[in-house]
Amino acid sequence: MTVPIILYGSPLLRSLSTEVTEKDNIIRIYEVLIATLKDHEGIGLAAPQTGLLKRAFVIDTCPIAEQDPSIDKFEGIFINPVIIDRSSEEISYREGCLSIPEIFEEVDRPDRILVRYQDMAFNRHEEELDGIKARIFQHEFDHLDGILFTDKINLIKRKMLAGKLNRIRKLSKTQKVQPYADLI
């Protein structure tokens, strides 16, 4: 089952997400997130982007790994993630977002991060991520706290994007959001 992706301008994208608990149907959350991500041909999708304010996101590097064999293929969900530590070295990379279509900008982020998260069985994991997986993780993690990649670009570039962002904001006002929380 796929659901619409919430567009820039919706207050849902600026909201804080709550922890996923064992009472939540994590299998359904995963199925909805991964199906929606694949349908929109993305590489990362956070639950708030689908209207569900829960601390979970999925990553699927397969689409970019096919273009660049140096990237490891990975598909999975991160539940209640935490960034424990970040490297001081930052790397610039051109990012986009399914909630902010057709806008791509350079964003500086730490190249390496140490993270903790739970899997679908609520087992805890601690892992060091680097490269594209660290990049996607940080981008999606930000969504859980209501932060968008456009918040991380310089003010001049943001002002230059104002017209495009306003067009997306207008579209978001016509968007009918149907929470799928009753399915979870």
CATH code, 73? 3.90.45.10
Residue 31 lies in a domain: yes
**Mean pLDDT along residues 138-157:** 96
In the chain, the number of structural domains is: 1
CA–CA distance, 78 with 80 (Å, rounded to integer): 7
- The predicted pLDDT at position 171 comes to 85
Residue 22 is part of which domain span? 11-175
The pair phi, psi for residue 131, each rounded to 5°, is 60, -145
pLDDT at res. 66: 84
Is 183 inside a domain boundary?
no
Q: Which range among 11-20, 44-53, 65-74, 124-133 shows the weakest confidence by mean pLDDT?
A: 65-74
Q: What are phi and psi of 41, to 5 degrees?
A: 55, 45
Q: Do the domain assignments include residue 36? A: yes
Residue 184 lies in a domain: no
- Asked if residue 180 belongs to a domain, the reply is no
pTM, entire model:
0.93
Whole-angstrom distance, CA of residue 22 vs CA of residue 43: 26
C-alpha 3: how far from chain center: 15
Per the prediction, the chain carries an average pLDDT of 92
DSSP 60: E
Q: Above 60 in pLDDT, residue 184?
A: no
Read off the pLDDT of each residue in 20-41 and give the average, rounded to a whole number. Answer: 95
- Which 3 state secondary structure label does DSSP give 131? helix
pLDDT band at 111 (very low <50, low <70, confident <90, very high): very high
Check whether 182 has a pLDDT greater than 60: no
Tokens (6 digits) for 4? 């619409």
Element housing 29 (H / E): helix 26-39
Which positions are annotated as active-site residues?
Answer: 140
Is pLDDT larger for residue 170 or for residue 97? 97
Question: What distance lies between CA 28 and its chain's CA centroid?
Answer: 18
pLDDT the model gives residue 115 = 98
Within a domain: 6: no
**Dist. CA 91–CA 52, nearest whole Å:** 30
pLDDT at 179: 58
Return the residue matching tokens 């608990």: 21
